[in-house]
Amino acid sequence: MSSILNINLPKTFIGLGALNSIIDAVNSLPHSNIFIITDPGIVNTGLVNFVVGPLKKAGYKFVVYGECESNPLITSTYLHKTA
C-alpha cells in the first residue's frame, strides 16, 4: 500500500493577503460544495473564521471538519490505523 497522497489543487494562494482571493478562487471552481479541513487548534483560536467569514458573507454553504490531528506523522494516518 502506498503512503503517497496525490491532491490536485487547481489554484493555491500562499502569502500575505492570500485570503483576500478566497471568493475569486471559489467562484472559479466548477463545484459548489465547500469542505474545510483543519485541526482543533485552528478552530479554537478562531483562525478558521478568516476563511469562513468571507464565504458566509458571499452566501456560500460549507462544512468545517476541525478534528484533524495537528502536525500528524505518517505513522498516525488513517490508512495506517486501519491497515
Question: What would the grid cell of residue 37 be?
Answer: 479541513
The 10s digit of each residue's pLDDT in 20-68 is 888 988 888 887 789 999 999 999 999 999 999 999 999 999 999 999 8
What are φ and ψ of residue 12, in 5° steps? -135, 130
- pLDDT of residue 83 exceeding 60, the answer is no
pTM: 0.70
- pLDDT of residue 13 exceeding 70, the answer is yes
